[in-house]
């Protein structure tokens, strides 16, 4: 078991022990009907005393009330234990899921959070209460033994048969339930992706096709769930049959023993032995009846354990000085996740603080992969990316992050205000927010908004356009004067004014010593770069001062074209 899971479980053990104690007292009070029946047969029937009957009835009612109060308290303790377990693990699970999502182009998943919720709900499920009540089965078995050892042998045999049913149920339903859960999860994720892209699905009349595809996946998941339910239903029927048989078997055997005057306690034990026999099997019957909960909880626990083991918590490291922006990429190789396919093949270059590197190349050349690798988001299979001599893979992200800026191709704003998004959801310094907004040409746009920097933005927000969202993301990347800024197609959605503001912002950042790496196809960005890297099919074709690289590209293209060599901006546009 992962240490984080073990620690969280250890933290709630006192609550589980209290729940066990309350449950044991409540379970003992569950013997009240048997005691009441014996007292009525022994005292009331023989004495014919109305007063005795009344007092016994009042006592029984009070015991019932006490039992229900104890059950209510136990349920509250188990709910609190589940919540405490979740709160203990929540930061660690979120961090691990976030780290795991970094290797998938930022595609985080809600699976881990759903698994944590499943485990939390397991704490107050009938499965856990039945498990806590299991020791009461031993008490009931001991009482049956006191009535007659032969009765205890029969009850123990039926309990063994019930255990066998439980194990066979596990063997028969585990695979179908796992497939059903995986199918349901896959159908839900597919549905989420469809809803996230509803705009273009509707625009291009893909709704019917998308519905058919989703319905097919959903139908497969339902079929798997039906198969698992049929298997589970079969074993639940066997489990209930055993529970009914033990009552009748103990009643019949008690009667036979009574004929031989071997039944301790007399005729009243005929019914009591059957009641106690049912209590021996009740916890096992409840577990079998809730086996889908058991299966779901076990799978959720296994996935959480695997996630935490794969994403081990980073050991505390010595704080490092703030980086100045010297970037060294040495023979960098990056492979596709879960594959040996190389996306980058031996990229090497060095940048000094204040350098502006334009990375150019055709589509699928590896530019986006390189942008992610420079920030430590795409792990290196070999080689290294070092910022001021320290690998970005080993640098504490919480320590390094404020010194990095990143503008990905797909601009995403988080639900919150413009100011919060620009300030990266830290403490909002309005002066710095306004300054960086002005640097990227966002100030006039913000001034036109009724709420200004307090305007709510995020998924589905229509307060600002796509180009304006890109400017907000650019402001976020430059906020805090980071030492290294990576921009992936930063002007993809910008108009001419936005393009000009971008160039001015890049020049200003470079002037204060920020190192910038820009993935681009546009000549306007090349104009502000002093270094240029050409990559194709993941391989480095050229690197050096911009004018030298462009001259080399012109020279390489000259034999292929009879017309005069174009100017530098034209050559850049061709690239």
State the 10-residue block means of pLDDT for the chain, 575 residues long.
Answer: 84 90 85 80 78 88 91 90 89 79 51 84 85 83 88 86 80 76 76 72 77 81 78 79 80 84 76 80 75 79 84 65 90 86 92 93 88 88 90 83 89 85 87 88 85 80 78 90 91 78 89 92 81 92 90 73 46 42
Question: What is the Cα–Cα distance from 111 to 116, expressed in whole angstroms?
Answer: 9
Same domain, 341 and 484: yes
78 with 122: CB under 8 angstroms?
no
Tell me how many domains the chain contains: 2
Which pair of structure tokens corresponds to residue 50? 């109305």
What pLDDT, on the 0 to 100 scale, is given for residue 106? 39
The tens digit of pLDDT for each residue in 281-328 reads 778 777 777 777 777 788 888 888 888 887 766 555 567 788 898 999
Residue 490 shares a structural domain with residue 389:
yes
pLDDT for the residue 105: 40
Residue 179 lies in a domain: no
**Token pair listed for 446:** 């913000």
Instruction: Look at residues 311, 340, 361 and tell me which one is the last residue of a structural domain.
Output: 311
**191 is a domain residue:** no
* 6/75 same-domain check: yes
The two tokens of residue 198 are: 């509803």
pLDDT value of position 567: 45
How much is the pLDDT for 563?
46
- Within a domain: residue 569? yes
Q: At what angle do helices 430-439 and 466-478 cross, to 10 degrees?
A: 120
Note down the domain range covering 506.
327-574
Give me 537's structure tokens.
Answer: 């099919």
Do residues 346 and 303 both lie within one domain?
A: no
Query: Does residue 567 belong to any structural domain of this protein?
Result: yes
Residue 20 within any structural domain of the chain: yes
Answer for the pair 129, 74: CB distance below 8 angstroms, yes or no.
yes
Read off the CATH number of the domain in which 495 is found.
3.40.50.300
CATH code of the domain in which 93 resides? 1.20.1560.10
Distance of CA 334 to the CA centre of its chain: 26
Where among 279, 311, 343 does a domain terminate?
311
Backbone angles phi, psi at 562, to 5 degrees: -75, -20
Q: Are 118 and 240 in contact (CB under 8 A)?
A: no
d(C-alpha 392, C-alpha 403), whole Å: 12
Which pLDDT score is estimated for 540? 92
The strand order across the sheet containing 356-360 reads 390-391, 382-387, 327-335, 342-351, 539-545, 531-536, 356-360, 515-519, 484-488, 404-407
- pLDDT 10s digits, 87-134: 888 888 887 777 776 655 434 456 788 888 888 888 888 888 888 888
- Give, in order, the Cα–Cα distances in Å from 546 to each of 285, 351, 525, 529, 549: 76, 13, 11, 7, 5
């Amino acid at each position: 078991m992962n240490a984080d899971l073990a620690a969280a479980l250890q933290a709630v053990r006192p609550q589980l022990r209290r729940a066990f104690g309350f449950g044991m007292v409540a379970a003992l009070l569950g013997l009240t009907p048997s005691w009441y029946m014996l007292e009525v047969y022994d005292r009331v029937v023989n004495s014919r005393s109305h007063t005795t009957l009344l007092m016994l009835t009042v006592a029984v009612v009070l015991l019932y009330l006490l039992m229900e109060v104890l059950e209510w308290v136990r349920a509250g303790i188990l709910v609190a234990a589940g919540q405490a377990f979740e709160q203990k693990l929540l930061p660690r699970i979120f961090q691990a899921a976030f780290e795991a999502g970094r290797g998938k182009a930022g595609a985080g998943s809600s699976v881990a959070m759903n698994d944590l919720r499943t485990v939390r709900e397991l704490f107050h499920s009938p499965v856990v209460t039945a498990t806590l009540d299991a020791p009461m089965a031993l008490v009931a078995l001991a009482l049956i033994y006191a009535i007659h050892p032969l009765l205890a042998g029969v009850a123990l045999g039926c309990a063994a048969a019930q255990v066998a049913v439980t194990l066979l149920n596990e063997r028969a339903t585990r695979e179908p339930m796992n497939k059903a859960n995986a199918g349901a999860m896959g159908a839900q994720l597919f549905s989420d992706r469809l809803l996230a892209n509803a705009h273009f699905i509707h625009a291009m009349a893909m709704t019917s096709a998308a519905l058919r595809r989703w319905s097919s996946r959903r139908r497969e998941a339902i079929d798997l769930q039906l198969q698992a339910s049929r298997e589970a239903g079969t074993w639940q029927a066997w489990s209930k049959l055993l529970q009914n048989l033990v009552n009748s078997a103990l009643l019949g055997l008690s009667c036979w023993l009574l004929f031989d005057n071997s039944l301790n306690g007399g005729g009243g034990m005929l019914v009591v032995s059957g009641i106690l026999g049912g209590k021996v099997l009740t916890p096992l019957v409840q577990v079998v009846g809730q086996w889908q909960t058991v299966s779901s909880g076990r799978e959720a626990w296994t996935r959480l354990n695997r996630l935490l083991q794969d994403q081990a918590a980073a050991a505390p490291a010595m704080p490092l000085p703030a980086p100045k922006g010297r970037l060294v990429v040495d023979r960098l190789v990056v492979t596709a996740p879960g594959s040996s396919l190389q996306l980058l093949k031996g990229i090497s270059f060095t940048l000094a603080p204040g350098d502006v590197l334009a990375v150019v190349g055709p589509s699928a050349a590896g530019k986006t992969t390189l942008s992610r690798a420079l920030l430590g988001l795409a792990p290196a299979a070999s080689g290294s990316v070092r910022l001021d001599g320290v690998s970005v893979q080993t640098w504490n992200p919480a320590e390094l992050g404020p010194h990095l800026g990143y503008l990905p191709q797909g601009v995403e704003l988080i639900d919150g205000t413009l100011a919060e998004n620009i300030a990266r959801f830290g403490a909002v310094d309005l002066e710095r927010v306004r300054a960086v907004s002005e640097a990227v040409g966002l100030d006039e746009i913000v001034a036109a908004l009724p709420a200004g920097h307090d305007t709510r933005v995020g998924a589905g927000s229509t307060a600002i356009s796509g180009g304006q969202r890109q400017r907000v993301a650019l402001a976020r990347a430059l906020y805090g004067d980071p030492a290294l800024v990576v921009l992936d197609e930063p002007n993809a959605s910008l108009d001419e004014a936005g393009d000009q503001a971008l160039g001015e912002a890049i020049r200003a950042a470079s002037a204060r010593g920020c190192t910038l790496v820009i993935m681009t196809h546009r000549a306007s960005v090349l104009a502000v770069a002093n270094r240029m890297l050409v990559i194709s099919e993941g391989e480095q074709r050229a690197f050096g001062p911009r004018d030298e690289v462009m001259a080399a590209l012109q020279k390489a293209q000259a034999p292929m074209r009879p017309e005069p060599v174009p100017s530098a901006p034209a050559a850049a546009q061709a690239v």
